Chains A and B, each alone.
Chain A
């Protein structure tokens, strides 16, 4: 005997409540008699009446309550059952990119599937098997089933993906499922990775049936494609680097071709020694567009022979400074002169009109806030009191930076945020649309020193402190200069048509505010499907297109994964093939299972309630008749 739901035990306190209700009722209830003088000679009960004395009705109600609570506790009694059943098996199949590697006339994946099929065919009729596929994440393809035909069908539906692998996670999932329901399952792993690649304790993986496939090391891969083009550079100033690595254990020759909008702009024959890498620089592009690096001829693994990048067309960016301070204008002129793609237009608050701006401008309002919002991304520095956008609560001096939003783009490469000069700052009330980027603290509470946000569709940054009074370009204020340049970079308008670079195996999340309504995804293979969640699993290399009524985007997916490209994997620790043994005959097993009987208690409670009701009815009728 035992209980499965001890969390219902506190309900037993309701019995105390029932006793209290009875006691209260007793004290409250008086019995009317025609004359008390007849009772005056009867001994008054000083103690017993005040004590709780259960009545039949109380006992019935307490029993009813006990039955209900006992039912809630899910009581059980152990029952020994004997059943005939087979063994359990878990098949873990690696479907990562390296499984696409050619091995002679076939692929590693087909070799692994062959072995998996042999295991399934050797299962006894009552044997149950589970199927798990593993790429970047494990996926349960089928739970335990005795339908071996279905399992074979599911094996046929598996395809290798253009992603890395996290085999350890897949094996962990299998290990978690291994001892379910007290029955131990045998785990078979089908992969091209060595057993040593599993990041699991040896004790856990000792009993794995590890089917390793693949011997070939014939792979030359594009290990990286870097395109250096900062936000102020146009395509002609950009420079691309293609890193090629030979993963074979012998020298290999190949041809690297770089195409810009499908037009070859770079071609190089080369030969690489075993396990060596080489970098190629490509520059002097004559236009923006899609950049493709391709290796020929094809080797054992084709997925890493191509990489994509996007060469953006950047026009001259204008920084519009609106400031009453002349010294800042001179400082910014020095800064803009050192940035080729940036020009400065300086205005005073009196000469500023919002119509002079366009969408591609960045506006810097220094000690000035216009009465209306401007149609461009803007930076507000040291806003004056009584401005309409950032309510100034107080002035503060000699503040120290206490906290900042780690990882924000504006704070990139800022190693010493605390070094910002903060002799004087304005204490701002945080607008509802803004978030704190850098904060300090005074006696009155947290003080925002830098705010970011989006207002009326434009990015806004506000610095509550001044830009160091003519010392922006001073080497002592390097942190401030970096913060300023990072802010300008963050405020640069984003080109909505520029493709987004992702790694194969990643999940691409739709931007905030974009709903997947009528959004279609076209994969690199040309297959189109409807996006019904807020994310897209990128599992192929190449170009993805997202198209909807209100959102369009292009994704360039590359696979730069050394673990996948290095298909040779010489750590050959377990190359011995595993022989698939004949299935064992079904076993008769006796085991103890809990048999719940809570529902009988509920039935008893219902019966008791019925009896009480009938008794009450009988009493009522008897009273009425008398």
Chain B
């Protein structure tokens, strides 16, 4: 099921990206928890009447029972700016059998769709490698309407995974140029040294972004026996090599190391109140979007 499949899009129509702390200044449709406004749809609380309040929202039943002028307040609904960061380092393209990068771009496209149908603003940012004088990131301008979803797909299709992972430098470069924080969803395999992703996520938090980390995992990363039994491995980012024979002991050791890495990323996110979710290429896009990400809290039903 692809992102252009009408049936799949219909299923995405029922989803939204929940927001916890992000704020927006323009009225919109995304409810902001613990933030009230004197009008709206979803009742939140009462407050004492103060001069200037709209009489239409005075709860006359309460006045009758309590003989006190109480005015209803509603959950605030705002237009939230969403920043979808896609890691385009070479590690996202390896191993080729996993099609990890294609999976990640499909996920970003689906999330973009969900953002736009909920009348939020969207900016898709491709975090590239600033080596050799290249720009640290490529991005679309803010998109505001579902009709502009059509601009997302060509942008994503033009990206190719290449270069080293520079999450820290590229995120920093982006937030220095952007004045409107919102929700930042970082889609990456986080296969880099911890300082790289930790500092990138902390920068975002510090600038007032509500940060969500979507960890992309390849099926062959989880089970390397699908890739090789023995041979010369090389790192696609730094070209270093290592002869590995996938014995039972080595396989066990690799799984332990991988699990430790995943745990480290997850625990860091929990410590810093960053929503963390994983998506594996072993699952289909539809399963991830409609089951796994809602279960992880990254998506919710409208």
What residues make up the interface of A, taking CB atoms closer than 8 Å to B? Answer: 26-27, 29-46, 48-50, 53, 55, 623, 626
A42-B244, A42-B254 given; A34·B95 CB < 8 A:
yes
Establish whether residues A33 and B95, one from each chain, have CB atoms under 8 Å apart when the complex forms: yes
Tell me how far the C-beta of B242 lies from the nearest C-beta in chain A, rounded to whole angstroms. 5
Nearest residue in A to B230 (C-beta to C-beta)? A49
Establish whether residues A49 and B92, one from each chain, have CB atoms under 8 Å apart when the complex forms: no
Establish whether residues A31 and B95, one from each chain, have CB atoms under 8 Å apart when the complex forms: yes
Nearest residue in A to B237 (C-beta to C-beta)? A35
**Bound Cα distance A35, B191 (Å):** 6
Tell me how far the C-beta of A190 lies from the nearest C-beta in chain B, rounded to whole angstroms. 80
Establish whether residues A32 and B242, one from each chain, have CB atoms under 8 Å apart when the complex forms: no
With A29-B232, A30-B241, A31-B232 known, 8 other A-B pairs at CB within 8 A are A33-B94, A34-B221, A34-B236, A35-B235, A38-B191, A45-B230, A46-B243, A48-B245
**Bound Cα distance A398, B243 (Å):** 80
Establish whether residues B257 and A41, one from each chain, have CB atoms under 8 Å apart when the complex forms: yes
Tell me how far the C-beta of B230 lies from the nearest C-beta in chain A, rounded to whole angstroms. 5
Instruction: Decide yes or no whether B145 CB sits under 8 A from chain A.
Output: no
Tell me how far the C-beta of A363 lies from the nearest C-beta in chain B, rounded to whole angstroms. 86
B245 interface neighbour in A27, A30, A32, A45, Cβ under 8 Å: A45
Establish whether residues A53 and B230, one from each chain, have CB atoms under 8 Å apart when the complex forms: yes
Tell me how far the C-beta of A77 lies from the nearest C-beta in chain B, rounded to whole angstroms. 40
Instruction: Decide yes or no whether B97 CB sits under 8 A from chain A.
Output: yes
Residues of A within 8 A of B95 (CB): 31-34
**Bound Cα distance A514, B254 (Å):** 88
Within B234-260, the residues touching A (CB, 8 Å) are 234-238, 240-245, 249-250, 253-254, 257-258
A42-B253, A43-B253 given; A32·B230 CB < 8 A:
no
A39-B242, A48-B245 given; A30·B254 CB < 8 A:
no
**Bound Cα distance A29, B243 (Å):** 11
Nearest residue in B to A55 (C-beta to C-beta)? B229
Tell me how far the C-beta of A588 lies from the nearest C-beta in chain B, rounded to whole angstroms. 62
Tell me how far the C-beta of B94 lies from the nearest C-beta in chain A, rounded to whole angstroms. 4
Instruction: Decide yes or no whether B296 CB sits under 8 A from chain A.
Output: no
A40 interface neighbour in B90, B192, B242, B250, Cβ under 8 Å: B242
Tell me how far the C-beta of A83 lies from the nearest C-beta in chain B, rounded to whole angstroms. 57
**Bound Cα distance A37, B191 (Å):** 9
A49-B230, A53-B230 given; A36·B94 CB < 8 A:
no
Establish whether residues B243 and A44, one from each chain, have CB atoms under 8 Å apart when the complex forms: yes
**Bound Cα distance A32, B242 (Å):** 11
A-B contact pairs, 5 of them (CB 8 A): A30-B231, A31-B228, A31-B233, A34-B221, A42-B253
1/0 per residue B81-110: CB within 8 Å of A?
Answer: 000000000111011110010000000000
**Bound Cα distance A498, B233 (Å):** 92
Residues of A within 8 A of B234 (CB): 30-33, 36
Residues of A within 8 A of B249 (CB): 43
Tell me how far the C-beta of B7 lies from the nearest C-beta in chain A, rounded to whole angstroms. 20
Residues of B within 8 A of A39 (CB): 233, 242, 244, 254, 257
Establish whether residues A33 and B245, one from each chain, have CB atoms under 8 Å apart when the complex forms: no
Q: Chain B: how many interface residues by the 8 Å CB criterion?
A: 40
**Bound Cα distance A73, B249 (Å):** 45
**Bound Cα distance A203, B165 (Å):** 97
B258 interface neighbour in A38, A40, A43, A49, Cβ under 8 Å: A38
Establish whether residues B240 and A36, one from each chain, have CB atoms under 8 Å apart when the complex forms: yes
**Bound Cα distance A38, B237 (Å):** 13
**Bound Cα distance A45, B238 (Å):** 21
Residues of B within 8 A of A33 (CB): 94-95, 227, 233-236
Establish whether residues A32 and B94, one from each chain, have CB atoms under 8 Å apart when the complex forms: yes
Q: Which 10 residue pairs spanning A and B have beta carbons closest together?
A: A34-B91, A36-B235, A35-B191, A45-B245, A49-B243, A34-B94, A32-B94, A30-B234, A31-B228, A34-B191
Tell me how far the C-beta of B69 lies from the nearest C-beta in chain A, rounded to whole angstroms. 63
**Bound Cα distance A36, B243 (Å):** 11
Instruction: Decide yes or no whether B205 CB sits under 8 A from chain A.
Output: no
Residues of A within 8 A of B218 (CB): 34
Tell me how far the C-beta of A117 lies from the nearest C-beta in chain B, rounded to whole angstroms. 81
Instruction: Decide yes or no whether B261 CB sits under 8 A from chain A.
Output: yes
A32-B94, A32-B96, A41-B257 given; A49·B237 CB < 8 A:
no
Establish whether residues A623 and B97, one from each chain, have CB atoms under 8 Å apart when the complex forms: yes
**Bound Cα distance A39, B256 (Å):** 11
Residues of A within 8 A of B243 (CB): 44-46, 49-50
Instruction: Decide yes or no whether B131 CB sits under 8 A from chain A.
Output: no
Instruction: Decide yes or no whether B176 CB sits under 8 A from chain A.
Output: no
**Bound Cα distance A626, B229 (Å):** 20
Instruction: Decide yes or no whether B193 CB sits under 8 A from chain A.
Output: yes
Nearest residue in A to B98 (C-beta to C-beta)? A34
Residues of A within 8 A of B236 (CB): 32-34
Tell me how far the C-beta of A315 lies from the nearest C-beta in chain B, rounded to whole angstroms. 97
Residues of A within 8 A of B79 (CB): none
Residues of A within 8 A of B192 (CB): 35
**Bound Cα distance A268, B146 (Å):** 139
**Bound Cα distance A26, B244 (Å):** 12
**Bound Cα distance A350, B9 (Å):** 116
**Bound Cα distance A623, B95 (Å):** 14
Instruction: Decide yes or no whether B189 CB sits under 8 A from chain A.
Output: yes
Establish whether residues A44 and B244, one from each chain, have CB atoms under 8 Å apart when the complex forms: yes
Establish whether residues A43 and B231, one from each chain, have CB atoms under 8 Å apart when the complex forms: no
Nearest residue in A to B96 (C-beta to C-beta)? A32
Residues of A within 8 A of B232 (CB): 26-27, 29-31, 49
Tell me how far the C-beta of B246 lies from the nearest C-beta in chain A, rounded to whole angstroms. 9
Residues of B within 8 A of A42 (CB): 244, 250, 253-254, 257
**Bound Cα distance A37, B254 (Å):** 10
Establish whether residues B254 and A31, one from each chain, have CB atoms under 8 Å apart when the complex forms: no
Establish whether residues A48 and B230, one from each chain, have CB atoms under 8 Å apart when the complex forms: yes
Residues of B within 8 A of A49 (CB): 230-232, 243-245
Establish whether residues A34 and B257, one from each chain, have CB atoms under 8 Å apart when the complex forms: no
Identify the interface centre among A26, A35, A37, A40: most chain B CB within 10 Å of its CB. A35
Residues of A within 8 A of B233 (CB): 30-33, 36, 39
Establish whether residues A45 and B221, one from each chain, have CB atoms under 8 Å apart when the complex forms: no
Tell me how far the C-beta of A53 lies from the nearest C-beta in chain B, rounded to whole angstroms. 7
Residues of B within 8 A of A27 (CB): 232
**Bound Cα distance A626, B219 (Å):** 10
Establish whether residues B242 and A44, one from each chain, have CB atoms under 8 Å apart when the complex forms: yes
**Bound Cα distance A48, B247 (Å):** 11
**Bound Cα distance A35, B254 (Å):** 12
Identify the interface centre among B95, B228, B237, B245: most chain A CB within 10 Å of its CB. B245
Tell me how far the C-beta of B195 lies from the nearest C-beta in chain A, rounded to whole angstroms. 13
Tell me how far the C-beta of A39 lies from the nearest C-beta in chain B, rounded to whole angstroms. 6
Residues of B within 8 A of A31 (CB): 95, 227-228, 231-234
**Bound Cα distance A129, B245 (Å):** 73
A29-B231, A36-B235 given; A43·B250 CB < 8 A:
yes
Establish whether residues A36 and B230, one from each chain, have CB atoms under 8 Å apart when the complex forms: no
Residues of A within 8 A of B230 (CB): 45, 48-49, 53
Residues of A within 8 A of B92 (CB): 34
Residues of A within 8 A of B261 (CB): 38
Residues of B within 8 A of A46 (CB): 243
Nearest residue in B to A45 (C-beta to C-beta)? B245
